[in-house]
């Protein structure tokens, strides 16, 4: 006998089935910047969401608006340890993503990427459910090609100070592909290019948050190197649309798939735009370029366009205005 849900999404089905008639989704790293926005999108879709995070870089404030929602559950857990839950699909986003955070404990960063992937893949294999891996453009290292296509193998220093993150994510991709080939596991791999927006940590050391916080405080804006290195900035809402489109795609589309905005800006371009939006009088100051810092980032998004029908919609000026508003409010409160 089949039971169906009524309009009250919090209402449970009879114990004869023991399941909800809606998809139960696990999001690791769900209290982070991107993870929390993904939780929002999944709740909006009608999913039941199990958010797992050890709160090393994630924050309860990112998910506090969801804590009383009948279809949301938060579990504090480190993915380097096995997790035994029942879900219908998995998004694996657990890993510190900013240099300041992932270099704080590089051994733990590598363990999170590699052991976390092993534990989540093992869970997906046991449950026979699809699993999504949030990888990164950092797998391309300091590229020697102006446009990074998924077929490019990268130029990564395996023993540098960024290697814990770069190589950890590369190893995670290897594990995902091997589980797919060996166990026929339904996998999706996305390579995330620079993403920004509300809920970024104000002290994560990333260029967008650095520039905005410094500008709002009228402090000098710190540019590393000569400021001519480039990045391509994707607003969080566009990225989350890409996540969902990839997860919804045919099983044959495993990725890796670049998701990012291909419009390229120098660090000086970004600083000037932040100064214009904030009306700040902050001067620009220059410092040495950190070791292995990529000089260029620009995604080839042909695969995302052709196979997912995805394109970024929010351009940098519009996204920065929304992000500046978020940080302006944040700095009035706990980060004043």
Full DSSP string of 189-228: EEEE--EE-TT--TTS--HHHHHHHHHHTTPPEEEETTS-
Task: Sort strands 195-196 and 89-92 into parallel, antiparallel or unpaired.
Answer: unpaired
Instruction: Tell me which residue of 238, 235, 200, 214 sits closest to 59, measured CA to CA.
Output: 200
190 close to 240: Cβ distance less than 8 angstroms = no
Kindly state the tokens that stand for 83.
């997790």
Instruction: Tell me which residue of 25, 68, 26, 65 sits closest to 45, measured CA to CA.
Output: 25
* Contacts (Cβ under 8 Å, ≥6 apart) of 201: 33, 57, 59, 98, 101, 209
293 close to 225: Cβ distance less than 8 angstroms = yes
Catalytic residue among 91, 102, 140, 165: 165
Full DSSP string of 134-179: EEEGGGGBS-SSSSB-TT---B--TTSTTHHHHHHHHHHHHHHHHH
Rounded CA gap, 176 and 188, in Å?
8
Kindly state the tokens that stand for 202.
């104000």
165 in active site = yes
Rounded CA gap, 97 and 100, in Å?
9
DSSP annotation of 307: I
Rounded CA gap, 21 and 3, in Å?
8
Active-site residue set: 165
């Amino acid at each position: 006998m089949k039971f169906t849900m009524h309009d009250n999404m919090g209402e449970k089905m009879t114990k004869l089935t023991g399941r909800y008639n809606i998809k139960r989704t696990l999001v690791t790293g769900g209290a982070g910047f991107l993870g929390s926005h993904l939780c929002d999108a999944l709740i909006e879709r009608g999913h039941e969401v199990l958010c797992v995070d050890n709160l090393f870089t994630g924050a309860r404030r990112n998910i506090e608006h969801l804590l009383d929602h009948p279809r949301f559950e938060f579990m504090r857990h480190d993915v380097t340890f096995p997790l035994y839950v029942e879900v219908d699909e998995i998004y694996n986003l657990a890993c510190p993503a900013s240099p300041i955070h992932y270099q704080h404990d590089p051994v733990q960063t590598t363990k999170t990427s590699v052991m976390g992937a092993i534990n989540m893949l093992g869970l997906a294999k046991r449950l026979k459910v699809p699993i999504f891996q949030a990888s990164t453009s950092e797998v391309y290292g300091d590229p020697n090609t102006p446009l990074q296509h998924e077929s490019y193998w990268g130029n990564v220093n395996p023993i540098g100070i960024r290697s814990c993150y770069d190589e950890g994510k590369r190893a995670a991709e290897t594990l995902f592909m091997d589980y797919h080939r060996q166990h026929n596991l339904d996998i999706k791999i996305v390579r995330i290019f620079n993403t920004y927006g509300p809920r970024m940590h104000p002290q994560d050391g990333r260029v967008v948050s650095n520039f905005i916080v410094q500008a709002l405080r009228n402090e000098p804006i710190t540019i590393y190197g000569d400021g001519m290195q480039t990045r391509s900035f994707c607003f969080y809402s566009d990225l989350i649309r890409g996540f969902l489109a990839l997860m919804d795609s045919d099983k044959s589309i495993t990725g890796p798939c670049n998701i990012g905005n291909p419009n390229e800006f120098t660090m000086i371009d970004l600083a000037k735009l932040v100064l214009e939006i904030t009306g700040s009088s902050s001067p620009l100051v220059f410092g040495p370029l950190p070791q292995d810092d990529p000089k260029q980032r620009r995604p080839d998004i042909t695969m995302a366009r052709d196979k997912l029908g995805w394109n970024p919609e929010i351009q940098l000026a519009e996204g920065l205005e929304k992000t500046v508003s978020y940080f302006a409010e944040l700095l009035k409160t706990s980060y004043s």
